[in-house]
C-alpha cells in the first residue's frame, strides 16, 4: 500500500520532470530560466498584470483612452483585427498542403497551425480585456442570437475556428502525451478540419472587414469601400503567409537544434516558395485597392493628408514588399524574402490600424490615441503568446517528427 | 440533353445576375408600423439659453445625476457637447450666419431610427425597435462589444467606461416606460416653448409639412429624419442647413441594415459552395499525386 503510493509519486514526479521541466530537476530548470529574454518577459508581465487588475476592477476607462465617440482602440485594432489576420497562416498552409497537395510545405504545417491556434487564442484573450462584460462571451452562442449582425458571424466563427485549430494542432499534443488512440482519431479529422477551417476563415476574415460596412461617413472614403470584406480576406492570406515566413525565421534561430538536417536544407526553399506566393497575393491586393478607389471615384481625395497616408500604406507597405519579395525570389535570396515578409506583416497591421483607428472618425474633433496602459496590455498579450509558443515548441513535436509515430 | 460549356457559363451568369437583382430589390426599406410614435423638434422655437429644461427633465425621468452647474449657466454652450452616460440629451448652440443676433439651439438625443444601425449591429439583439417607435436596450444580455456605438451614424450610444462590473450602453429611450404608462416623453412634456411635439409619426410629418408650407421664410424645406437612413422616429425642422447645425452630412436614405445585407447574403453561398469546391480540390490533387506516382516521377513535379 505504502509502496504503491511511493511509486505513483515517483512516476508523477518523473512525468513532471520529463514532460514539463524538459528532463531537469525543478532547481536546474529554474536556474536555466534566468536568461535575458526571460528577464525582459518578466518585466513586461510585471507591468501588464497590475494593469489587468486596474482594467477589471476600475473599468475600461481607467486603463484606456476609449470614449463615447471612439469606442474601439488599440485592443481592437491590433490585438483583434491584426491578430486574426496574422493568424491566417494556419488555414493557408493547411489548405496548401492537405487540400492542394503541395507536400513540399509539410514541415511548416505544424508551426503554422500552432501559430494560428495560439494567435486566435490570444485574440480571444485580448477581446476579453476589451469587452465590457467578458464573462458574457458565450452569450451569442447560448443566450441570444443577433443574426442580422456581422459581429454575430465573427463571434461564432472565431469560437468554431478555435476548436477546429485545436483539432488540427492536437496530434502534436497527443504524441507528447503518448496518447496513441486520440492521436489516431485526431489525424483522421485533419482533412475535414482543414476544409472546415478554410470555410470558416474565408467567412470571418472577410467579416472583420464587413464590420466596417456600417461606418459610411465615419470611415474615411479612401478606406470605406463595398469591397472591405474582400480587402480583409485577401490581405489576411498575404499576412498569414508572411507570418509563417517570419515565424519560421525566428524558430530556426531559436530552436535550430530541434530541426532535422533535412528540414534545414529545405528551409530556404520553402521560404522562397512562400515568398513567391506572398508576392503574388500582395500584388493582387494592391490592384484591388485601386479597383476600390476607382469604383467609388475617390481619386480627388488622394490629395490630402489622409490621402498621403493611404498612398504610404498602399505603395509603401503593399506594393513595395510585394516587389521586394518578387525580386528576392528571382535572386533566390531567402534572407531578403524574410525581410520582405516582415515588412508586409507591418503593412497589414498598418492597414488594420488605419481602418479601425486613424481613418475612423477622421472628421471628428475628438480623436483617439492609445494611452500607455493599452500599449502595455497589447505587449503583455504578445509576450504571453510568444512564451506559450516557446513552451509548446520546447516540449511537443512541432518543428520535428516524433520518432515513435508514423506520419 | 448535353450542355456545352458556353451554355453552362451563360446559365451561370444569368443566375448570378438574378441573384444580384433580387438583392437590390431587397434593399427597399421597411416602411414601419403604421401607428408608431415620433417626436418633432422645431429648432426655430427652441430658446436654449437659460432654459435646458428638457435636459433636466430627461435626467429626472431616467434617474441620472443632476447637472453640476446651474441651468442658467450659458457657458456650457461655448463648446459643442455630445451625449454621455449622464446626459441622454444635450442642447447645443450654433451660429446662424444669416442672423448673428439669434443663434440656433439644437437638442440632440437618439433619433430612434426605423431600421436602427445599433440593432442590426448587435450580436445578441440587445437593441430592439419597438412597434410603438422607441429603440430600447436590454442590459441583461449586452456583452459590451460597443459595435452599436461604432455603427450609429449619429454618435448617440454612450458607455459606462468607469463601471467595471455592470457597464451599460446608455442612451435616450424616448421614455418608453412613460409611454407605456400613458404619459408623454419627459422632454416633450416640459418644453416651455412647445418646440418638442410628441405624437404619431405620420401626423407629425403632416404637421411639419404644413409648417413649411405656411412659413417658407422661417423653415428650410426639409424634414430631417423623414427619409435619412430609412427614416427616424425623431424629426427635425430648422431654419438653417442641417449640415451647419450639427447633423451628420452625407447620410443617404439607405437604411443601415441594407449595408451588410449583401455580405450576409453571401454567407450561405460560401457555406454551401466552398465545401464542395474544397473537397473537389482535395480529390483532384490526390488523384494527381497518384498518377504522378504511377508514372514514376515523370509526372512533372506532381508532388509539389
- Find how far residue A231's CA is from the centre of its chain: 17
Check residue B22 and give its pLDDT.
Answer: 39
B36, B201 Cβ separation under 8 angstroms? yes
pTM for the whole thing? Answer: 0.91
Check residue A25 and give its pLDDT.
Answer: 86
Pairwise CB contact (< 8 Å): B122 & A140: no
Mean pLDDT score, A161-187: 94
Mean pLDDT across chain B, nearest whole number?
A: 88
B161-171 residues labelled b (16+ CB within 10 A) or e (exposed) = beebeebbbbb
pLDDT at B28 exceeding the cut of 90: no
Check residue A9 and give its pLDDT.
Answer: 64
Q: Which of A51, A68, A224 to mutate to test the interface with B (most CBs of B within 10 A)?
A: A68
B229, B252 Cβ separation under 8 angstroms? yes
Query: What confidence tens digit (pLDDT) does each residue in A290-306 have?
Result: 999 999 999 999 999 99
DSSP state of B186: H
Neighbours of B289 (CB within 10 A): 15
Nearest to A198 among B157, B163, B274 (CB): B274
Nearest residue on chain B to A148, alpha-carbon basis = B120
Which residues, in sequence order, are bridge partners of residue B84? B87
Pairwise CB contact (< 8 Å): A69 & B82: yes
**Taking CB atoms and an 8 Å cutoff, what residues of chain B touch A148?**
119-120, 257, 260, 264
pLDDT at B29 exceeding the cut of 60: no
**Range in A87-91, A228-232, B3-7, B230-234 the model is least confident about:** B3-7
Nearest residue on chain A to B246, alpha-carbon basis = A364
Neighbours of B89 (CB within 10 A): 22
Q: Which of B117, B263, B285 to mutate to test the interface with A (most CBs of A within 10 A)?
A: B263
Mean pLDDT score, A202-206: 96
Q: Does A155 touch chain B (CB under 8 A)?
A: yes
pLDDT at A236 exceeding the cut of 70: yes
User: Measured between alpha carbons, how far is residue A142 from residues A139, A166, A210, A211, B126 in Å?
Assistant: 5, 21, 24, 22, 14
Pairwise CB contact (< 8 Å): B123 & A203: no
Mean pLDDT score, A152-176: 95
pLDDT over 70 percentage in chain A: 97
Between B26 and A239, name the one with better pLDDT: A239
Q: Which of A60, A57, A141 is nearest to B162 (CA)?
A: A60
Between A5 and A50, name the one with better pLDDT: A50
Check residue B8 and give its pLDDT.
Answer: 46
B212, B40 Cβ separation under 8 angstroms? no
Q: Which of B103, B75, B80, B99 is nearest to B91 (CA)?
A: B80
Residues 223-252 of A with CB under 8 A from B: 226, 229
pLDDT at A88 exceeding the cut of 70: yes
Enumerate residues 6+ apart whose C-beta is below 8 A from A341.
A241, A242, A243, A245, A246, A249, A274, A275, A278, A321, A325
Structure confidence at residue B30 as a pLDDT band (50, 70, 90):
low
Mean pLDDT across chain A, nearest whole number?
A: 93
Check residue A6 and give its pLDDT.
Answer: 54
Check residue B302 and give its pLDDT.
Answer: 42
**Range in A14-28, A369-383, B61-75, B77-91 the model is least confident about:** A14-28
Q: How far is B163 from chain A (nearest CA, A)?
A: 5
A325-328 long-range CB contacts below 8 Å, 24 or more apart? Answer: A325/A275, A325/A276, A325/A278, A325/A279, A325/A282, A326/A276, A326/A279, A326/A283, A328/A272, A328/A275
Q: CA-CA-CA-CA torsion for B283, B284, B285, B290, nearest 10 degrees?
A: 90
User: Measured between alpha carbons, how far is residue B7 from residues A13, B1, B17 in Å?
Assistant: 71, 12, 15
Q: How far is B217 from chain A (nearest CA, A)?
A: 31
pLDDT at B17 exceeding the cut of 50: no
Pairwise CB contact (< 8 Å): B278 & A218: no
Nearest to B167 among A133, A154, A215 (CB): A133
Which residues, in sequence order, are bridge partners of residue B253? none
Which phi-psi region, left, alpha or beta, contains residue A186 (left: φ > 0; alpha: ψ -120 to 50)?
Answer: alpha
- Find how far residue B105's CA is from the centre of its chain: 23
Q: Quote the ipTM score.
A: 0.92
Which residues in chain B belong to E strands, given as ranges?
Answer: 37-42, 90-94, 104-108, 127-129, 135-137, 158-159, 169-170, 196-200, 234-237
Mean pLDDT score, A28-36: 89
Mean pLDDT score, B10-26: 42
Check residue B260 and give its pLDDT.
Answer: 95
Between B14 and A325, name the one with better pLDDT: A325
Structure confidence at residue B65 as a pLDDT band (50, 70, 90):
very high
A281, A238 Cβ separation under 8 angstroms? yes
Q: Quick one: three-class SS letters along chain A?
A: CHHHHHHHHHHHHHHHHHHHCCCCCHHHHHHHCCCHHHHHHHHHHHHHHHHHHHHHHHCHHHHCCCCCCCCCCHHHHHHHHHHHHHCCHHHHHHHHHHHCCCHHHHHHHHHHHHHHHHHHHHHHHHHHHHCCCHHHCCHHHHCCCCCCCHHHHHHHHHHHHHHHHHHHHHHHHHHHHCCHHHHHHHHHCHHHHHHHHHHHHHHHHHHHHHHHHHCECCECCCCCCCCHHHHHHHHHHHHHHHHHHHHHHHHHHHCHHHCCHHHHHHHHHHHHHHHHHHHHHHHHHHHHHHHHHHHCCCHHHHCCHHHHHHHHHHHHHHHHHHHHHHHHHHCCCHHHHHHHHHHHHHHHHHHHHHHHHHCECCCCCCCCCCCHHHHHHHHHHHHHHHHHHHHHHHHCCCCCCCCCCCC
**Residue A319 to residue A287: CA distance in whole angstroms:** 9
Mean pLDDT score, A315-343: 97
For residue B260, count CB atoms less than 10 angstroms from its CB and return exposed for 0-12, middle for 13-18, buried for 19 or more.
buried
> For residue B278, what is the enclosing H or E element?
helix B257-295
Nearest residue on chain B to A99, alpha-carbon basis = B282
Query: What confidence tens digit (pLDDT) does each residue in B122-177 have?
Result: 999 999 999 999 999 999 999 999 999 999 999 999 999 999 999 999 999 999 99
Domains plus CATH for chain A?
A: 8-58 (no CATH), 59-391 (1.20.1630.10)
Residue A53 main-chain phi, psi, to 5 deg: -60, -45
Pairwise CB contact (< 8 Å): B120 & A148: yes
**Taking CB atoms and an 8 Å cutoff, what residues of chain A touch B161?**
59-61, 64, 66-67
Q: Which of B238, B246, B242 is nearest to B211 (CA)?
A: B238
Query: Integer distance in angstroms from the first to the last C-alpha of chain B?
Result: 39
Q: Which of A358, A353, A328 is nearest to A342 (CA)?
A: A328
User: Measured between alpha carbons, how far is residue B143 from residues A48, A136, B125, B148, B166 in Å?
Assistant: 24, 5, 10, 11, 10
**Taking CB atoms and an 8 Å cutoff, what residues of chain B touch A199?**
270-271, 274-275, 278
Residue B81 main-chain phi, psi, to 5 deg: -100, 160
Check residue B293 and give its pLDDT.
Answer: 80
**Residue B202 to residue B233: CA distance in whole angstroms:** 10
**Taking CB atoms and an 8 Å cutoff, what residues of chain A touch B85?**
68
Mean pLDDT score, B14-40: 59
**Residue B157 to residue B182: CA distance in whole angstroms:** 26
- Find how far residue A93's CA is from the centre of its chain: 13
For residue B109, count CB atoms less than 10 angstroms from its CB and return exposed for 0-12, middle for 13-18, buried for 19 or more.
buried
Residue A54 main-chain phi, psi, to 5 deg: -60, -45
Check residue A403 and give its pLDDT.
Answer: 83
**Taking CB atoms and an 8 Å cutoff, what residues of chain B touch A146?**
122-126
B142, A133 Cβ separation under 8 angstroms? yes
Nearest residue on chain A to B117, alpha-carbon basis = A214
Q: Does A207 touch chain B (CB under 8 A)?
A: yes
Check residue A24 and give its pLDDT.
Answer: 85
Which phi-psi region, left, alpha or beta, contains residue B90 (left: φ > 0; alpha: ψ -120 to 50)?
Answer: beta
Pairwise CB contact (< 8 Å): B123 & A136: no
Amino acid at each position: 500500500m505504502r509502496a504503491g503510493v511511493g511509486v505513483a509519486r515517483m512516476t508523477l514526479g518523473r512525468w513532471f520532470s520529463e514532460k514539463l521541466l524538459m528532463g531537469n530537476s525543478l532547481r536546474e530548470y529554474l536556474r536555466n530560466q534566468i536568461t535575458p529574454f526571460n528577464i525582459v518577459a518578466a518585466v513586461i508581465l510585471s507591468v501588464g498584470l497590475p494593469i489587468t487588475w486596474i482594467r477589471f476592477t476600475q473599468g475600461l476607462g481607467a486603463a484606456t483612452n476609449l470614449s463615447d465617440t471612439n469606442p474601439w482602440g488599440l485592443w481592437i485594432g491590433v490585438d483583434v483585427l491584426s491578430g486574426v489576420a496574422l493568424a491566417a497562416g494556419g488555414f493557408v498552409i493547411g489548405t496548401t498542403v492537405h487540400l492542394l497537395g503541395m507536400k513540399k510545405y509539410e514541415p511548416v504545417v505544424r508551426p503554422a497551425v500552432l501559430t494560428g491556434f495560439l494567435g486566435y487564442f490570444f485574440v480571444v484573450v485580448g477581446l476579453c480585456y476589451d469587452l465590457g462584460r467578458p464573462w458574457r462571451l458565450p452569450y451569442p452562442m447560448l443566450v441570444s442570437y443577433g443574426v442580422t449582425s456581422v459581429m454575430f458571424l465573427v463571434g461564432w466563427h472565431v469560437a468554431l475556428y478555435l476548436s477546429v485549430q485545436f483539432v488540427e494542432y492536437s496530434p502534436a499534443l497527443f504524441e507528447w502525451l503518448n496518447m496513441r488512440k486520440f492521436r489516431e482519431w485526431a489525424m483522421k479529422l485533419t482533412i475535414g478540419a482543414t476544409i472546415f477551417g478554410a470555410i470558416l476563415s474565408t467567412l470571418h476574415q472577410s467579416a472583420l472587414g464587413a464590420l466596417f460596412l456600417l461606418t459610411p461617413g465615419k470611415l474615411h472614403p479612401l478606406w470605406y469601400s463595398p469591397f472591405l470584406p474582400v480587402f480583409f480576406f485577401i490581405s489576411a492570406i498575404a499576412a498569414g503567409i508572411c507570418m509563417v515566413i517570419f515565424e519560421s525565421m525566428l524558430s530556426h534561430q531559436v530552436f535550430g537544434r530541434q530541426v532535422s538536417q533535412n528540414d534545414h536544407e529545405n528551409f530556404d526553399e520553402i521560404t522562397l516558395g512562400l515568398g513567391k506566393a506572398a508576392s503574388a497575393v500582395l500584388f493582387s491586393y494592391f490592384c484591388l485597392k485601386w479597383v476600390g478607389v476607382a469604383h467609388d471615384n475617390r481619386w480627388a481625395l488622394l490629395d490630402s493628408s489622409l490621402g498621403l497616408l493611404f498612398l504610404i500604406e498602399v505603395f509603401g507597405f503593399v506594393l513595395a514588399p510585394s516587389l521586394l519579395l518578387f525580386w528576392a525570389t528571382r535572386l533566390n535570396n531567402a534572407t531578403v524574402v524574410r525581410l520582405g515578409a516582415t515588412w508586409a506583416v507591418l503593412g497589414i497591421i498598418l492597414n488594420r490600424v488605419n481602418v479601425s483607428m486613424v481613418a475612423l472618425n477622421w472628421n471628428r474633433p475628438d480623436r483617439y490615441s492609445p494611452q500607455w496602459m493599452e500599449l502595455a496590455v497589447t505587449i503583455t498579450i504578445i509576450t504571453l503568446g510568444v512564451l506559450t509558443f516557446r513552451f509548446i515548441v520546447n516540449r511537443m513535436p512541432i518543428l520535428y517528427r516524433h520518432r515513435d509515430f508514423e506520419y | 440533353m448535353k450542355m456545352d460549356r458556353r451554355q453552362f457559363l451563360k446559365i451561370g451568369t444569368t443566375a448570378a445576375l438574378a441573384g444580384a437583382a433580387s438583392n437590390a430589390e431587397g434593399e427597399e426599406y421597411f416602411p414601419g408600423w403604421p401607428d408608431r410614435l415620433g417626436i418633432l423638434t422645431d429648432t426655430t422655437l427652441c430658446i436654449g439659453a437659460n432654459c435646458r429644461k428638457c435636459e433636466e427633465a430627461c435626467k429626472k425621468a431616467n434617474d441620472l445625476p443632476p447637472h453640476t452647474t446651474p441651468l442658467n449657466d450659458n457657458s456650457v454652450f461655448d463648446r459643442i457637447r455630445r451625449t454621455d452616460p449622464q446626459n441622454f440629451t444635450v442642447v447645443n448652440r450654433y451660429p446662424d450666419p444669416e442672423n448673428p443676433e439669434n443663434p440656433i439651439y439644437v437638442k440632440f438625443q437618439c433619433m430612434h431610427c426605423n431600421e436602427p444601425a445599433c440593432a442590426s449591429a448587435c450580436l445578441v439583439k440587445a437593441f430592439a425597435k419597438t412597434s410603438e417607435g422607441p429603440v430600447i436596450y436590454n442590459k441583461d444580455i449586452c456583452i459590451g462589444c460597443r459595435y452599436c456605438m461604432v455603427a450609429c451614424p449619429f454618435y448617440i450610444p454612450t458607455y459606462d467606461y468607469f463601471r467595471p462590473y455592470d457597464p451599460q450602453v446608455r442612451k435616450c429611450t424616448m421614455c418608453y416606460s412613460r409611454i407605456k404608462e400613458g404619459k408623454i416623453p419627459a422632454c416633450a412634456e416640459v418644453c416651455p416653448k412647445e418646440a418638442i411635439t410628441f405624437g404619431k409619426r405620420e401626423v407629425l410629418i403632416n404637421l411639419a409639412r404644413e409648417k413649411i408650407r405656411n412659413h417658407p421664410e422661417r423653415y428650410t424645406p426639409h424634414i430631417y429624419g423623414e427619409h435619412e437612413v430609412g427614416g427616424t422616429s425623431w424629426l427635425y425642422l430648422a431654419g438653417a442647413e442641417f449640415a451647419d447645425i450639427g447633423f451628420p452630412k452625407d447620410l443617404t436614405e439607405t437604411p443601415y441594415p441594407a449595408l451588410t445585407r449583401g455580405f450576409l447574403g453571401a454567407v450561405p453561398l460560401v457555406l454551401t459552395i466552398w465545401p464542395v469546391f474544397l473537397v473537389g480540390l482535395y480529390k483532384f490533387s490526390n488523384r494527381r499525386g497518384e498518377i504522378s506516382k504511377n508514372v514514376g516521377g515523370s509526372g512533372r513535379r506532381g508532388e509539389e
